[in-house]
């Protein structure tokens, strides 16, 4: 990648954004098919994967925007974040919290995001693999009731997908969005929403350590 010019690199990342978004859309549709057939555990696993794909969308967007502004990411660190479950979840969680902070009607979304992503991969793994319960007995994913959390996770995935689609329908449209200079007013608004997002996370019971980790991950991704 280092041999490419920054505009070419940015174009590659934008195409990656579109691929992640398209895959997330397909995963949500396939999860809906599974839900219709009562396969709630597998549907949950696909929805969680869709959310991670949209987290990757956010990581790629930050990298592309930095390149277009003349700030190349530290590539080793960038690709670690691209493949890190924690980093993808952190980026998506903060984006959803910022979305919630921008609307007085989005409290439920913020609660869902904070609750669902607190479990990271543990719940998705339970939707895919046989494991031992607290009593030592082996349990299958189909023996657990995923019909309750799956609709909430679908709502989170749908909101995140809508936000990704708002960036533009094509690579050309996304480039226009990425090249828009940040005005002082927009930067102030973004900072306000970020602060409000972390305040909401604390309000909804997120541990202070977790909030601090998310701040470091989020600001670190934007600075690299």
List the one residue out of 55, 88, 11, 63 whose CA is nearest residue 163: 55
CA gap 217, 59 in Å, rounded? 11
Q: For residue 213, what are its two tokens?
A: 């980790």
92: nearest Cα among 217, 184, 220, 223? 217
Residue 194 has a pLDDT of: 57
188 vs 182: CA distance, rounded Å: 10
**Across the 224 residues of the chain, what is the mean pLDDT of every consecutive 10-residue run?**
63 96 98 96 93 88 90 88 76 64 53 56 82 88 87 85 91 91 57 55 52 53 48
The b/e string for 7-45 (b: 16+ C-beta within 10 A; e otherwise) is eebbbbbbebbbebbebbbebbebbeebbeeebbbbbbb
**94 near 113, Cβ under 8 Å?**
no
pTM of the model: 0.76
């Amino acid at each position: 990648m280092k041999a490419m010019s920054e505009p070419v690199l940015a174009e590659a990342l934008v195409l990656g954004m579109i691929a992640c978004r398209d895959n997330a859309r397909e995963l949500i549709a396939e999860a809906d098919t599974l839900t219709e057939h009562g396969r709630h555990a597998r549907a949950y696993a696909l929805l969680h994967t869709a959310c991670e794909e949209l987290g990757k969308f956010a990581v790629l967007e930050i990298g592309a925007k930095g390149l277009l502004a003349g700030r190349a990411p530290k590539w080793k660190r960038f690709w670690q974040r691209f493949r890190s479950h924690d980093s993808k979840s952190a980026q998506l969680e903060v984006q959803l919290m910022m979305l919630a902070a921008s609307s007085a009607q989005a409290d439920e979304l913020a609660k869902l995001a904070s609750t669902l992503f607190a479990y990271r991969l543990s719940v998705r793994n339970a939707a895919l693999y046989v494991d031992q319960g607290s009593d030592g007995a082996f349990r299958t994913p189909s023996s657990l009731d995923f019909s309750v959390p799956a609709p909430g996770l679908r709502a989170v995935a749908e909101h995140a997908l809508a936000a990704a689609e708002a960036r533009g329908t094509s690579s050309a449209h996304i480039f226009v969005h990425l090249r828009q200079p940040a005005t002082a007013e927009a930067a102030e608004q973004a900072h306000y929403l970020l602060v409000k997002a972390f305040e909401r996370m604390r309000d909804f019971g997120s541990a202070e350590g977790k909030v601090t980790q998310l701040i470091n991950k989020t600001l670190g991704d934007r600075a690299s």
